[in-house]
Amino acid sequence: MRTTLFTFGLIILSCLGFAQDIKDVNFIAPFKDGLAAVQRDGEWGFIDESGTLVIDFRKDITILPEHEEGKSKFPYFNDGRCLIKKTEKDIPFYGFMDKSGTIVIDPVYINASNFKDGMAIVGELTKESLGKNDLLNKRVVNYSFTEIAIDTSGKLLYFLTDPQHVTLDKKYIKKLPKIKSTVLNERLIAIPSKTTENWTVMRLQ
């Protein structure tokens, strides 16, 4: 009888919601968009406002590239999206996950901004075959980088800059091509001039 009562008491206590603590966390970010980033052993996860770990610690959650101006020291959600990163042959590619931790925009962009007002500026990589180098017996390809605006589903909204040649090799890329365009609000994007330090304010339809 005592054993039965003890077991019943444990069930009642568990139903009252004694949550498991998240221990040995190295960094806790402020809440943004309802979630806060937490770091442990070089991996990031997210907790909700009850302290529940809703996205487990993982390696692909990332912050903006180091050379980006105004970058945050921690990952965060905006418009329900957070940056992720995948590295191929030492080259980082960026995409986005949603609040369930599901990757909703594949990491195929060579650079990216965080979302703002429903848009993100990303660097689209285009590969063009130029033929074959008979001397080296290998195909010659050209890579170009174009800034585009996408929505939270990854749909292309606007082309913002002309293609810019990039050498897709870690030996030659000291810094990733920088995202220069900026989302000002849901109707305006600032685009830099190619030849001067001036800007164009693009009004969206």
| Whether this model's pTM surpasses 0.75 | yes
The answer to whether 82 and 74 have CB atoms below 8 angstroms apart is: no
Q: Which pLDDT belongs to residue 1? A: 47
Q: How is residue 123 annotated by DSSP?
A: E
Contact 179, 68 (CB under 8 A): yes
Nearest to 148 by CA among 128, 167, 162, 127: 162
In the predicted model, is pLDDT for residue 68 greater than 60? no
Tens-place pLDDT, residues 169-185:
766 666 778 899 999 99
Inter-residue contact 76 to 115 (CB < 8 Å): no
* pLDDT recorded at residue 194: 81
Residue spans of beta strands (DSSP E) within 18-119: 27-28, 36-40, 43-47, 53-58, 82-88, 91-97, 103-109
Q: Quick one: pLDDT at residue 15?
A: 43
Out of 121-125, 145-149, 169-173, 195-199, least confident range:
169-173
> Average pLDDT of the chain?
85
- Only one residue has tokens 């949550």, namely 19
Given a cut of 60, whether residue 50 has pLDDT beyond it is: yes
pLDDT at 200: 94
In angstroms, the CA 205 to CA 188 distance is: 9
Pick from 74, 77, 83, 80: which is nearest to 42 by CA?
74
